[in-house]
Amino acid sequence: MSIQKISSFAAGEWIAPGAGARDIASAITGDVIASAGNSALDVQAMLDHAREVGGPALRAMTFHDRARMLKALGQHLNANKQALYDISFDTGATQSDHMIDIDGGIGTMFVFAAKGRREMPDDHVFLDGELEQLGRTGTFMGQHICTPLHGVAVHINAFNFPVWGMLEKLAPTLLAGVPAIVKPATNSCYVTELAVRLILESGLLPEGALQFVAGGLGDMLDRLGMQDVVSFTGSADTALMLRSNRTILENSVRFVAEQDSLNASILGPDAVPGTPEFDLFVKEVSREMTAKAGQKCTAIRRIIAPESQVEAVIEALSARLAKTVIGDPRLEGTRMGALVSIQQKQDVLAKAALIGSEAERVFGDPENFEVVGADAAKGAFLPPMLFHCADPDTAQRVHDTEAFGPVSTVMGYRDLDHAIEIAKRGQGSLVASVITHDPSVARAVAIGAGAYHGRIYINDRTSMKESTGHGSPLPHLVHGGPGRAGGGEEMGGVRGVKHYMQRTAIQGSPDMLSAIGKQWVPGAAEIEGPAHPFTRKFGELAIGETLHSASRVVTLEDIEHFATFTGDTFYAHMDDAAAKRNPFFPGRVAHGYLLLSFAAGLFVEPNEGPVLANTGLDNLRFMKPVSAGDSIKVRLTVKHKTPRNEEYGEVRWHVTLTNQDDEKVAEYELLTMNAF
C-alpha cells in the first residue's frame, strides 16, 4: 500500500514532507497510510506571504465581496464533498459523522456568507453598535467601528473535525478580511489537506489568503505580532502551553481558545419514564456518546438524573447503547466507527480507569465487545462505556477527567439546586443541556448554571422535531465556554467575525462619522439631489441626499375620519377630557399612524419608478403629540444603501417629522427596495 505524502502549502507552493515527518496510521486497520511534517518549512516566509500578499488582497475586497466568495467556496466544496467523505473513513468516522464534519463545515460557510451579505455593509468598515451623542447639540459624536487586522490568523485545530474545524474558523476570518494559516492536528491532516486543495483549486481565493501546515508549526508562534491572531482548538494542556508563549504574551497576540469540556446533561425532575422527555433524554445521551465515537468536544460526559430515576436511566441507556453496531465505518450498518488512533484509544482507556476509581462501569467492556468488518486488535475500536458514580459530591475525577471517547458517567441529584451544583463542577464547559417540559426548571438551570456554560440547550416534546442536538455548535450562536472550556468564543454570527478585526472608537462631528461609516448621521451635511429621490435609481442616490417636503395642517376632521375609518377610536384621539387626564397629552391628539400616513403622502413620488417596495420601518419613535391645527413636514434623507442582488438594493432612509415650531414629532428609518 502506498503511503500518501501530505504536503504543506506555503507561500504559494506545495512542500512535501521532509525532515521530522510523522507517520499517520489508519484508525481502522492500524496500517500507516500517510506521512506529514517538515521541520525545514520556512514559517517566516509563510507569515510574510500572508501579511504582504494575502492581507492586502482581502482588504481590497468589501464584506460583500468576501461573503460572495465564501458562498462560491461553499458551493464548490459541496460539489466535491464525495472525495472528502471517501478519504475521511480512515479517521474512523462513519458516514453520519462525515455529515457533521463535512456538511456541517460547508453549512457553516454558507451561514457566514449569508450573514456577511445581510448584516454587514458592502464596504470596508463595519459599524459596531449605535451612535453615541457626546455633546449637547449633536455636533460631537461617537461610533465604534471594526476594521480587519493587518496580520495573519493562525488556526490550530483538533483532530476530531478535520473539515468543520478548519471551516468554522476560516469562514469568519476570510469574511473579516484576514488571511489564514491552517494547522490541523497531524492525525487527520490528510482530510484537511484535501479540503485545502479543493479550495485552492477553485481559484476563488486571492493569493496568500490561505496557507496550510501539515505537521508541526516550527517556531511560527515565536514570530507573531500584535496584528496576528491565534485561534486554537484542542486540549486544555496544549492551550496552556501555547498561550504561555512569551512572544504571544509580550505582543498581546489575540489567543482564542476552545478547549476540552466536561459537558453535562440534566434530566428534569418532571421527565419521568413514560414522558416524551425521558425517551428524548436517552436518545440524545446515547447519540452524544456514540457520534464520532464520543470524540466531540461537546459530547455529554456527565449525565445528571434525579436519584429516583438513576436506575431507569441506566437501564434505558444500556438497552439503547447495546444496539450500537461497532465496526468498519465504511459498512452501512455501522453506527460507531473507531477512535482516531491507537494512542487515542490508550488515552481513553487510561482516563476511563481514572473515572472507574470513583464510579462503577455499568455498561461496555473494552476487553469484550464485537467489531464488525474489521480487526478489533488492530483498529482503534472501543465500545461505549457507561459509568455510575454513586457519590458525585465527594468524587473529583468524574468532574475533571475528559475521556475523549464514548465514555460517560451517570450521577444522581437530590433536587434541582443539587443538579445545578453538579453541572457547575465541570469548571466551565461548552454546553449543558436540560431535558424538561417545565419552563421553571429551564429558567432555574439557565440562571443557576448559565455563568458556567457557553451554551444551554433545552429540549422537550415541543422542540424535539426541529432541535439541532446537544452536541451541535451552530454558526449563528456562540461556541465556547468559560474556565476549563478555554474562555473563548467562536462563531455566533458577526460576533465571530469581530475576533479578526480591531474595534476602534471614533469621535468627531456628524460629517466625519458619515464619511467614515458611509452612513448619514443626523447633523451631517444634506445633499440636494437633481430630482425627487424616488425617481433616482439605487446607484444614482447619494448618501445624504435629502428631500424636504411641503407642510400639511392636521385637522380635527382628519383625526375623526382616521378614527372611524380604521376603528382606532382610542380615547386620546376622541375624548378631550380623558386625553387631558393622561400625563402625555394636552388634549385630543392625532394618531401616530395617521402622522406616518400623512408623512408618506408628503414625501411620495406617485409614478412608477425605481422604488419597488416599502419593506419596513425601523426605530420608530413618536416624540411629541400633534393636536388639531398643528402642521407637520418631513425630511427624508438617504442614510445607507445595501445592494441585495443584480436587480435591486435596500435603501435605508432617515425620516424626521417636525411641527410648525420645528420640534421633532417623530423619527424613524424607512426601508425601500430600489432598482439599480
Would you please indicate which residues are annotated as catalytic (active-site) residues? Answer: 258, 297
- Which residues, in sequence order, are CB contacts of 68 under 8 Å at separation 6+? 113, 117
Please tell me whether residue 156 binds ligand NAP under the rule CB under 6 A: yes
Adjacent-strand bridge partners of 187: none
Q: Within positions 183 to 202, which residues make up the interface with ligand NAP, using CB under 6 A?
A: 183-187
Q: Which residue is nearest to ligand NAP (CB)?
A: 234
Cβ contact 192:162 at 8 Å: yes
Residue 234 as a binder of ligand NAP (CB under 6 A): the answer is: yes
Give residues with Cβ within 8 angstroms of 671, minimum separation 6. Answer: 614, 615, 616, 617, 618, 650, 651, 652, 653
- Smallest distance, ligand NAP to C-beta of residue 178, A: 19
Question: Candidates 179-187, 499-507, 568-576, 609-617 — which segment interacts with ligand NAP by CB under 6 A?
Answer: 179-187
Give the DSSP per-residue string, 370-399. Answer: --BSS-TTTS-----EEEEES-TTT--HHH
Within 205-224, which residues bind ligand NAP (CB under 6 A)? 216-217
Output 190 or 404, the one with its CB closest to ligand NAP: 404
Q: Decide: is 259 part of the binding site for ligand NAP (CB under 6 A).
A: yes
Does 459 contact ligand NAP by CB under 6 A? no
Query: Candidates 80-88, 229-237, 491-499, 615-623 — which segment interacts with ligand NAP by CB under 6 A?
Result: 229-237
Q: How far is the CB of 216 from ligand NAP (least distance, A)?
A: 6
Which has the closest alpha carbon to 630: 608, 659, 605, 664?
659
C-alpha–C-alpha distance, residues 270 and 277, integer Å: 9
159 binds ligand NAP (CB under 6 A): yes
Q: What is the CA radius of gyration of the chain?
A: 30
- What length does the chain have? 676
The number of residues that bind ligand NAP (CB under 6 A) is: 25
Whole-number minimum distance, CB 195 to ligand NAP, in Å?
15
Q: Does 278 sit near ligand NAP (CB under 6 A)?
A: no
Of positions 75, 235, 467, 535, contacts ligand NAP by CB under 6 A: 235
Q: How far is the CB of 209 from ligand NAP (least distance, A)?
A: 21
Of 258-266, 279-287, 349-357, 551-559, the window that binds ligand NAP (rule: CB under 6 A) is 258-266
Query: How far is the C-alpha of 261 from the C-alpha of 272, rounded, in Å?
Result: 27
- Interface with ligand NAP includes 638 (CB under 6 A)? no
CA distance 657 to 664: 6
- Burial of 567 (C-beta count, 10 Å sphere; 0-12/13-18/19+): exposed
Q: Is 352 one of the binding residues for ligand NAP (CB under 6 A)? A: no
Nearest CB to ligand NAP, comparing residues 239 and 599: 239
Separation of alpha carbons 287 and 469, rounded Å = 9
141 makes contact with ligand NAP (CB under 6 A) = no
Report the Cα 152 to chain-centroid distance in Å. 21
CB count in 10 Å sphere of residue 343: 12
What are residue 650's DSSP bridge partners?
Answer: 642, 673
Q: Which of 90, 193, 402, 489 is in the footprint of ligand NAP by CB under 6 A?
A: 402
* Nearer to ligand NAP (CB atom), residue 258 or residue 277: 258
Distance between CA atoms of 47 and 165, rounded to whole angstroms? 21
For 130, the grid coordinates are: 449605535
The answer to whether 238 contacts ligand NAP (rule: CB under 6 A) is yes
By C-beta, is 199 or 431 nearer to ligand NAP?
Answer: 431
| Region at 33 (left for phi over 0; alpha for psi -120 to 50; beta for the rest) | alpha
- Candidate ranges 3-11, 259-267, 348-356, 544-552; the one touching ligand NAP (CB under 6 A): 259-267
- Binding status of residue 245 toward ligand NAP by CB under 6 A: no
The piece of 105-113, 231-239, 526-534, 619-627 that touches ligand NAP (CB under 6 A) is 231-239
Q: Whole-angstrom Cα distance, residue 88 to residue 330?
A: 10
Tell me the closest approach of the beta carbon of residue 215 to ligand NAP, in angstroms.
Answer: 6
Chain residues in the site for ligand NAP (CB under 6 A): 156-160, 183-187, 216-217, 233-235, 238, 242, 258-261, 297, 402, 404, 430
